[in-house]
Protein backbone atom coordinates (compact mmCIF):
# COMPACT_ATOMS: atom_id res chain seq x y z
CA UNK A 1 0.00 0.00 0.00
CA UNK A 2 2.89 2.38 0.65
CA UNK A 3 5.18 4.14 -1.75
CA UNK A 4 8.74 2.84 -1.85
CA UNK A 5 10.78 5.01 -4.17
CA UNK A 6 13.41 2.37 -4.84
CA UNK A 7 10.71 0.16 -6.35
CA UNK A 8 9.54 2.70 -8.92
CA UNK A 9 10.53 2.03 -12.51
CA UNK A 10 12.64 4.66 -14.23
CA UNK A 11 10.58 7.57 -15.52
CA UNK A 12 11.54 10.94 -16.93
CA UNK A 13 10.20 14.05 -15.22
CA UNK A 14 8.26 16.39 -17.53
CA UNK A 15 9.67 19.75 -18.56
CA UNK A 16 7.30 21.77 -16.37
CA UNK A 17 8.53 19.93 -13.26
CA UNK A 18 12.21 20.33 -14.11
CA UNK A 19 11.75 24.00 -14.98
CA UNK A 20 9.88 24.70 -11.74
CA UNK A 21 12.61 23.11 -9.61
CA UNK A 22 15.20 25.19 -11.49
CA UNK A 23 13.58 28.38 -10.17
CA UNK A 24 15.48 28.69 -6.92
CA UNK A 25 13.47 30.25 -4.08
CA UNK A 26 14.54 32.95 -1.69
CA UNK A 27 15.53 31.10 1.48
CA UNK A 28 15.05 32.77 4.85
CA UNK A 29 14.19 32.11 8.48
CA UNK A 30 11.67 33.82 10.72
CA UNK A 31 11.91 33.64 14.51
CA UNK A 32 8.56 32.85 16.12
CA UNK A 33 8.61 32.65 19.90
CA UNK A 34 12.11 31.28 20.08
CA UNK A 35 12.06 28.88 17.13
CA UNK A 36 13.50 29.55 13.68
CA UNK A 37 11.01 28.76 10.90
CA UNK A 38 12.38 28.04 7.42
CA UNK A 39 10.72 29.93 4.57
CA UNK A 40 10.92 29.54 0.79
CA UNK A 41 9.64 32.45 -1.31
CA UNK A 42 9.02 33.12 -5.00
CA UNK A 43 7.68 36.07 -6.97
CA UNK A 44 7.78 39.81 -6.58
CA UNK A 45 6.79 41.64 -3.44
CA UNK A 46 3.75 43.74 -4.19
CA UNK A 47 1.93 40.98 -6.06
CA UNK A 48 -1.08 39.45 -4.26
CA UNK A 49 0.17 37.19 -1.48
CA UNK A 50 -0.29 33.42 -1.25
CA UNK A 51 0.90 31.39 1.75
CA UNK A 52 1.29 27.61 1.31
CA UNK A 53 1.31 25.23 4.28
CA UNK A 54 2.19 21.53 4.26
CA UNK A 55 0.96 18.42 6.05
CA UNK A 56 2.21 16.32 8.95
CA UNK A 57 5.99 15.71 9.08
CA UNK A 58 6.36 17.14 5.58
CA UNK A 59 8.09 20.42 4.70
CA UNK A 60 8.02 23.52 2.54
CA UNK A 61 9.73 21.43 -0.16
CA UNK A 62 6.37 19.83 -0.96
CA UNK A 63 5.50 23.11 -2.73
CA UNK A 64 8.76 23.59 -4.65
CA UNK A 65 7.36 22.36 -7.97
CA UNK A 66 4.02 24.23 -7.84
CA UNK A 67 4.91 27.46 -6.03
CA UNK A 68 7.18 28.78 -8.85
CA UNK A 69 4.29 28.43 -11.32
CA UNK A 70 1.92 30.24 -8.96
CA UNK A 71 4.54 32.98 -8.56
CA UNK A 72 3.73 34.24 -12.04
CA UNK A 73 0.62 35.78 -10.49
CA UNK A 74 1.41 35.90 -6.77
CA UNK A 75 4.07 36.55 -4.19
CA UNK A 76 4.27 33.01 -2.80
CA UNK A 77 5.74 31.83 0.50
CA UNK A 78 5.91 28.24 1.72
CA UNK A 79 7.25 27.38 5.15
CA UNK A 80 7.94 24.39 7.37
CA UNK A 81 6.04 24.20 10.64
CA UNK A 82 8.28 24.21 13.71
CA UNK A 83 9.36 20.65 14.40
CA UNK A 84 9.21 19.78 10.71
CA UNK A 85 11.43 20.19 7.67
CA UNK A 86 14.36 22.48 8.40
CA UNK A 87 12.61 24.48 11.11
CA UNK A 88 13.64 24.36 14.76
CA UNK A 89 12.05 21.93 17.19
CA UNK A 90 10.12 22.99 20.31
CA UNK A 91 9.56 21.48 23.73
CA UNK A 92 5.81 21.77 23.08
CA UNK A 93 3.56 22.66 20.13
CA UNK A 94 0.06 24.14 19.89
CA UNK A 95 -2.23 24.94 16.98
CA UNK A 96 -2.43 28.53 18.25
CA UNK A 97 1.35 28.81 18.02
CA UNK A 98 1.30 27.31 14.54
CA UNK A 99 -1.30 29.89 13.48
CA UNK A 100 1.05 32.56 14.81
CA UNK A 101 3.85 31.05 12.72
CA UNK A 102 1.70 31.39 9.60
CA UNK A 103 0.99 35.06 10.31
CA UNK A 104 4.63 35.81 11.13
CA UNK A 105 5.84 34.19 7.89
CA UNK A 106 3.24 36.09 5.85
CA UNK A 107 4.33 39.38 7.41
CA UNK A 108 8.06 38.76 7.00
CA UNK A 109 7.66 37.30 3.52
CA UNK A 110 5.97 40.40 2.14
CA UNK A 111 2.53 38.87 1.62
CA UNK A 112 0.88 41.93 3.15
CA UNK A 113 2.80 44.31 0.86
CA UNK A 114 0.16 44.23 -1.87
CA UNK A 115 -2.90 46.48 -2.05
CA UNK A 116 -5.04 43.50 -1.03
CA UNK A 117 -4.74 40.87 1.73
CA UNK A 118 -3.13 37.46 1.16
CA UNK A 119 -4.72 34.05 0.72
CA UNK A 120 -3.68 31.18 3.02
CA UNK A 121 -3.78 27.58 1.71
CA UNK A 122 -2.96 24.42 3.67
CA UNK A 123 -2.87 20.68 3.04
CA UNK A 124 -3.98 17.88 5.38
CA UNK A 125 -2.67 18.44 8.95
CA UNK A 126 -1.75 22.01 7.97
CA UNK A 127 -5.46 22.81 7.70
CA UNK A 128 -5.83 22.52 11.49
CA UNK A 129 -3.78 25.64 12.32
CA UNK A 130 -5.23 27.20 9.14
CA UNK A 131 -8.70 27.01 10.70
CA UNK A 132 -7.40 28.76 13.83
CA UNK A 133 -5.75 31.47 11.73
CA UNK A 134 -8.78 31.94 9.46
CA UNK A 135 -11.06 32.33 12.48
CA UNK A 136 -8.75 34.49 14.58
CA UNK A 137 -7.17 36.60 11.82
CA UNK A 138 -9.75 36.18 9.07
CA UNK A 139 -10.38 39.92 8.82
CA UNK A 140 -6.79 40.28 7.60
CA UNK A 141 -7.08 37.60 4.89
CA UNK A 142 -8.56 37.66 1.40
CA UNK A 143 -9.48 34.02 1.90
CA UNK A 144 -8.44 30.57 3.08
CA UNK A 145 -8.19 27.22 1.27
CA UNK A 146 -8.07 23.79 2.93
CA UNK A 147 -6.80 20.90 0.81
CA UNK A 148 -8.06 17.48 1.93
CA UNK A 149 -8.29 18.40 5.60
CA UNK A 150 -7.89 15.74 8.31
CA UNK A 151 -10.22 17.52 10.75
CA UNK A 152 -12.89 14.86 10.29
CA UNK A 153 -10.54 12.17 11.63
CA UNK A 154 -10.56 13.78 15.06
CA UNK A 155 -6.96 14.92 14.64
CA UNK A 156 -7.57 17.91 16.89
CA UNK A 157 -8.64 15.81 19.89
CA UNK A 158 -7.14 12.37 19.29
CA UNK A 159 -4.87 11.29 22.21
CA UNK A 160 -1.23 11.20 21.20
CA UNK A 161 0.64 7.90 21.36
CA UNK A 162 4.23 8.61 22.43
CA UNK A 163 4.75 4.86 22.80
CA UNK A 164 4.43 4.54 19.02
CA UNK A 165 7.20 7.04 18.29
CA UNK A 166 10.35 5.45 16.92
CA UNK A 167 13.32 7.24 15.42
CA UNK A 168 14.68 4.85 12.82
CA UNK A 169 18.23 5.38 11.60
CA UNK A 170 19.81 4.02 8.44
CA UNK A 171 23.42 3.45 7.56
CA UNK A 172 23.09 4.93 4.07
CA UNK A 173 20.99 7.52 2.26
CA UNK A 174 19.86 4.84 -0.18
CA UNK A 175 18.49 2.71 2.65
CA UNK A 176 16.60 5.68 4.11
CA UNK A 177 15.08 6.53 0.73
CA UNK A 178 14.05 2.92 0.13
CA UNK A 179 12.05 2.92 3.37
CA UNK A 180 10.31 6.25 2.73
CA UNK A 181 6.53 5.93 2.85
CA UNK A 182 3.46 8.14 2.94
CA UNK A 183 0.34 7.51 5.00
CA UNK A 184 -1.98 7.22 3.19
CA UNK A 185 0.01 6.30 0.08
CA UNK A 186 -0.04 8.48 -3.02
CA UNK A 187 -0.72 5.59 -5.36
CA UNK A 188 -0.98 7.67 -8.53
CA UNK A 189 2.16 9.73 -7.92
CA UNK A 190 4.88 9.14 -10.55
CA UNK A 191 8.36 8.02 -9.56
CA UNK A 192 10.01 11.36 -10.40
CA UNK A 193 7.63 13.07 -7.98
CA UNK A 194 8.13 10.54 -5.18
CA UNK A 195 11.90 10.53 -5.65
CA UNK A 196 12.00 14.29 -5.06
CA UNK A 197 9.69 14.11 -2.04
CA UNK A 198 11.67 11.26 -0.49
CA UNK A 199 14.98 13.07 -1.01
CA UNK A 200 13.61 16.16 0.73
CA UNK A 201 12.43 14.09 3.70
CA UNK A 202 15.73 12.61 4.93
CA UNK A 203 18.80 14.08 6.51
CA UNK A 204 22.25 12.96 7.64
CA UNK A 205 23.05 13.12 11.36
CA UNK A 206 26.58 12.91 12.77
CA UNK A 207 26.67 11.18 16.16
CA UNK A 208 29.08 11.93 18.97
CA UNK A 209 31.06 8.79 18.13
CA UNK A 210 31.72 10.23 14.68
CA UNK A 211 29.43 7.80 12.88
CA UNK A 212 26.99 9.34 10.40
CA UNK A 213 23.45 7.97 10.04
CA UNK A 214 20.42 8.90 7.93
CA UNK A 215 16.94 9.53 9.31
CA UNK A 216 13.60 11.16 8.50
CA UNK A 217 13.70 14.95 8.96
CA UNK A 218 11.60 16.45 11.72
CA UNK A 219 10.72 15.96 15.37
CA UNK A 220 9.21 12.47 15.47
CA UNK A 221 7.67 13.39 18.84
CA UNK A 222 5.76 16.37 17.46
CA UNK A 223 2.40 14.61 17.78
CA UNK A 224 3.01 13.61 21.39
CA UNK A 225 4.20 17.17 22.16
CA UNK A 226 1.21 18.91 20.55
CA UNK A 227 -1.59 19.88 22.92
CA UNK A 228 -5.04 19.00 21.57
CA UNK A 229 -8.32 20.85 21.80
CA UNK A 230 -11.49 20.96 19.68
CA UNK A 231 -10.98 22.88 16.44
CA UNK A 232 -14.41 22.41 14.87
CA UNK A 233 -15.60 25.70 16.46
CA UNK A 234 -12.78 27.53 14.61
CA UNK A 235 -13.66 25.73 11.38
CA UNK A 236 -17.34 26.61 11.62
CA UNK A 237 -16.60 30.22 12.56
CA UNK A 238 -14.46 31.11 9.52
CA UNK A 239 -15.81 34.39 8.16
CA UNK A 240 -13.36 35.16 5.35
CA UNK A 241 -13.94 33.62 1.90
CA UNK A 242 -13.23 29.92 2.22
CA UNK A 243 -12.78 26.92 -0.09
CA UNK A 244 -12.37 23.20 0.51
CA UNK A 245 -10.40 21.36 -2.18
CA UNK A 246 -10.75 17.58 -1.96
CA UNK A 247 -9.49 14.58 -3.89
CA UNK A 248 -12.14 12.55 -5.67
CA UNK A 249 -10.48 9.36 -4.43
CA UNK A 250 -9.58 10.65 -0.96
CA UNK A 251 -10.60 8.24 1.79
CA UNK A 252 -11.49 11.27 3.92
CA UNK A 253 -14.13 12.62 1.57
CA UNK A 254 -16.27 9.70 0.59
CA UNK A 255 -19.99 9.92 1.36
CA UNK A 256 -19.87 9.86 5.16
CA UNK A 257 -16.77 12.02 5.46
CA UNK A 258 -18.05 14.64 3.03
CA UNK A 259 -21.37 14.79 4.88
CA UNK A 260 -19.51 15.31 8.18
CA UNK A 261 -17.64 18.30 6.77
CA UNK A 262 -20.64 19.84 5.02
CA UNK A 263 -22.66 19.70 8.22
CA UNK A 264 -20.01 21.73 10.07
CA UNK A 265 -18.52 23.94 7.33
CA UNK A 266 -19.29 27.67 7.05
CA UNK A 267 -22.32 28.29 4.84
CA UNK A 268 -20.24 30.25 2.33
CA UNK A 269 -17.75 27.40 1.72
CA UNK A 270 -16.81 26.69 -1.90
CA UNK A 271 -16.45 22.96 -2.61
CA UNK A 272 -13.95 21.87 -5.27
CA UNK A 273 -13.18 18.26 -6.16
CA UNK A 274 -10.10 17.24 -8.14
CA UNK A 275 -10.77 14.19 -10.36
CA UNK A 276 -8.51 11.17 -9.91
CA UNK A 277 -6.79 12.74 -6.89
CA UNK A 278 -6.29 11.06 -3.52
CA UNK A 279 -5.28 12.63 -0.23
CA UNK A 280 -2.13 14.18 -1.78
CA UNK A 281 -3.34 16.15 -4.84
CA UNK A 282 0.00 17.97 -5.23
CA UNK A 283 1.63 14.58 -5.87
CA UNK A 284 -0.86 12.63 -7.96
CA UNK A 285 -2.61 15.54 -9.76
CA UNK A 286 -0.22 18.50 -9.34
CA UNK A 287 -1.26 20.51 -12.40
CA UNK A 288 -4.96 20.16 -11.60
CA UNK A 289 -4.32 21.36 -8.03
CA UNK A 290 -2.20 24.19 -9.39
CA UNK A 291 -4.99 25.44 -11.61
CA UNK A 292 -7.60 25.21 -8.86
CA UNK A 293 -5.37 27.06 -6.39
CA UNK A 294 -4.62 29.77 -8.95
CA UNK A 295 -8.31 30.22 -9.78
CA UNK A 296 -9.53 30.32 -6.18
CA UNK A 297 -6.73 32.59 -4.97
CA UNK A 298 -7.30 34.95 -7.90
CA UNK A 299 -11.03 35.16 -7.13
CA UNK A 300 -10.41 35.69 -3.43
CA UNK A 301 -7.74 38.34 -4.06
CA UNK A 302 -10.06 40.19 -6.42
CA UNK A 303 -12.85 40.09 -3.86
CA UNK A 304 -15.02 37.85 -6.03
Summarised one tens digit per residue, pLDDT across range 47-99 is: 999 999 999 999 999 999 999 999 999 999 999 999 999 999 999 999 999 99
Domains and CATH numbers, the chain: 21-157+223-302 (3.40.50.1820)
Summarised one tens digit per residue, pLDDT across range 260-284 is: 999 999 999 999 999 999 999 999 9
> Average of pLDDT values for 199-226?
85
What is the overall mean pLDDT for the chain?
Answer: 91
Summarised one tens digit per residue, pLDDT across range 145-158 is: 999 999 998 888 76
The model's pTM: 0.92
What pLDDT sits at residue 1?
26
Written in H, E and C, the secondary structure of the chain is CCCCHHHCCCCCCCHHHHHHHHCCCEEEEEEECCEEEEEEEECCECECEEEEECCCCCCHHHHCCCHHHHCCCCEEEEECCCCCCCCCCCCCECHHHHHHHHHHHHHHCCCCCCCCCCEEEEEHHHHHHHHHHHHHCHHHCCEEEEECCCHHHCCCCCCCCHHHCCCCCECCHHHHHHCCCCCCCCCCCCHHHHHHHHHHCEEEEECCCCCEEEEECCCCCCCCCECCCCCHHHHHCCCCCEEEEEECCCHHHCHHHHHHHHHHCCCCCEEEEECCCCCCHHHHCHHHHHHHHHHHHHHHHHCC
Amino acid sequence: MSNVTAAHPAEIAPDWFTAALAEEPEVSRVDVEGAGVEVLSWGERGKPGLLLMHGFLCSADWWRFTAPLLARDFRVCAFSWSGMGGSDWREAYTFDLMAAEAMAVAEAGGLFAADRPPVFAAHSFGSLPLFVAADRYGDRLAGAVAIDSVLGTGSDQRPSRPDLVRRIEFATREAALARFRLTPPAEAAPSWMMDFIAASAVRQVLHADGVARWERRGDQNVSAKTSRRPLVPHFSAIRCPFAMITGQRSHLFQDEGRAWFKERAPAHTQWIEIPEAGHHPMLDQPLALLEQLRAVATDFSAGA
